[in-house]
Structure 1
């Protein structure tokens, strides 16, 4: 009978983070890891799921959509404060660039196919 081991599962998550997480060098010099959606905790996943509806709704105000993108990125970040301060100084086009890179990174190798 196979036995699942907690430490093995944690190692697998760490490996997936290295493979699919997006690393971002924040303005404070810290490296922020944006975790893939499927590796988020329960509360963070709820935030992302709720805000994804806002981001993909073309009838929503552009500023509301940008705010939702920011909140999703911050929810996925391991160093939320560093990312939040960095995003505040970037124009919307650069924030959406980070968002797009995060979404592509989370899909893994099939994203390039």
Structure 2
């Protein structure tokens, strides 16, 4: 397990389907609390990628991250297990990362996912 304070996972891993997007992480949650969830679900070989913006301190996150797994089966299982997992009152969203997005794209994706989530759980 490792953490990378860079913006994107390896493109080969994305193309192979080994990267999971994990979003809707409460800003009040530490990175370590997210790591603990992943470990508690039985995953051992992964790398977290936390995207940082100018206003973010290194110990903080922006409510989402990418997780690169060593193999495709682990990534698929993680996306399934972590999607809709409740972390301290927030329902996480997880899925295969198909491409890396700009910060504007991510904001739009979060907004659309939130609207879908609200519709699905009415």
Question: TM-score surpassing 0.5?
Answer: no
More helix per residue: 1 or 2?
Answer: 1
Q: Highest CA radius of gyration, 1 or 2?
A: 1
- Given the two structures, how large is their TM-score scaled by the length of structure 2? 0.29
- Given the two structures, how large is their TM-score scaled by the length of structure 1? 0.31
